[in-house]
Chain A
Amino acid sequence: MTKTAGDEDALVAALKGGDESAFVELVDRHTPAMLRVARGYVPSREIAEEVVQETWIALLKGIGSFEGRSSVRTWLFTVLVNIAKRRGMRERRDADVAVMAFTGGTVDPARFRDADDRFPGHWRPDEVPSPFPDTPEGSVLGDELITLARRELDTLPERQRVVVMMRDMLGLDSAEVCELLEISVANQRVLLHRGRAAVRQVLEDYLRETP
């Protein structure tokens, strides 16, 4: 899914020369992810499309001075997030505080032994996790798990979803995500961990039911 920067330098050079096919190639490569991310900030698909379009136009306007210090993708998402935030109607200012205020665990506490047990805080014997099976590329089970993961991502709280998508679908690193979303490293980690843990739980539930 993530492609190396090398051919992207060539695309940027071509785009500077006004090459339409280079633009189309970049659009095809980045727009689906941009729409997905924008959707986390604005109330409708239509507005998300406007945000994405505005971002591409900003790229075209700025391409002459684009020096390739950051990747095109990082550039696009930085601009995208800024435009999306401006257009976004949801209140986000207190969100950083809210992240830390929630202290619940990501695994059902009933799966662990009580304080009066000989091994408090350890897995109960009937709740010990089992390894997830191997799922070769294109296997039926593998595809089912991907579908489940996708569905669960859609139900995550918006900020968790955006962080998980940026880290695990787009492959951005923690520093990039913190900068894009203007959140602390600690909050980024909390959001990422909760999002991943929620997906893990869904996959585990499914695999436990599947013989």
Chain B
Amino acid sequence: MTTGPMDCNELVELVTAYLDGSLDLEDRARFDLHLLECDGCENYLQQFRRTIATVGKVPFDELDPSFRNRLITAFRDWS
């Protein structure tokens, strides 16, 4: 890893590692320092967080009633 200041195109690839808290201290510091100076990356991070929140709201498909009944029948056969 380089130790100089972080460029935007490097930062955008480290966002998930940053959010997971898995950057080493050196890279975390470079990331934080870059954010202080760069509105674009600040916004990119905000977009990324919003994206994660949006994915978190994606509903799963409705359960097909006939499949649900099949599972309940399997339960009755078993018990």
Q: Which residues of A contact B (CB under 8 A)?
A: 1, 18, 20, 23-24, 27-28, 31-33, 35-36, 49, 52-53, 56-57, 60-61, 105-107, 109, 112, 120-123, 128-132, 135, 142, 145-146, 149-150, 153, 164, 168-169, 171, 174, 185, 189, 192-193, 196-197, 199-200, 203-204
Q: How many inter-chain residue pairs (CB < 8 Å) link A and B?
A: 144
* Known pairs A112-B8, A174-B20 / 17 extra A-B pairs, C-beta < 8 Å: A35-B63, A36-B61, A53-B74, A56-B71, A122-B40, A131-B43, A131-B47, A142-B57, A149-B51, A149-B54, A168-B52, A169-B60, A189-B22, A192-B16, A196-B48, A200-B47, A203-B54
Contact partner, B61, options A35, A60, A105, A145, Cβ 8 Å = A35
B43 touches A199 (CB 8 A): no
Contact partner, B7, options A36, A122, A189, Cβ 8 Å = A122
Q: Which residues of B contact A (CB under 8 A)?
A: 7-10, 12-13, 15-17, 20, 22, 38-41, 43-44, 46-48, 50-52, 54-63, 67-68, 70-72, 74-76, 78-79
A53 touches B52 (CB 8 A): no
B8 touches A23 (CB 8 A): no
A122 to B9, CA, bound (A): 6
With known contacts A112-B9, A193-B13, A203-B54, A185–B22 Cβ distance under 8 A:
yes
A198 to B50, CA, bound (A): 13
B72 touches A145 (CB 8 A): no
With known contacts A36-B60, A196-B16, A121–B9 Cβ distance under 8 A:
yes
B60 touches A199 (CB 8 A): no
Chain B residue with the shortest CB-CB distance to A20: B75
Please give, as numbers and ranges, the residues of chain A lying within 8 Å of B67 by CB-CB distance: 31, 49
B39 touches A193 (CB 8 A): no
A185 to B21, CA, bound (A): 13
A32 touches B60 (CB 8 A): yes
- Top 10 nearest A-B pairs (CB, nearest first) are A121-B7, A32-B60, A193-B16, A128-B40, A123-B40, A200-B51, A132-B50, A168-B55, A129-B43, A112-B9
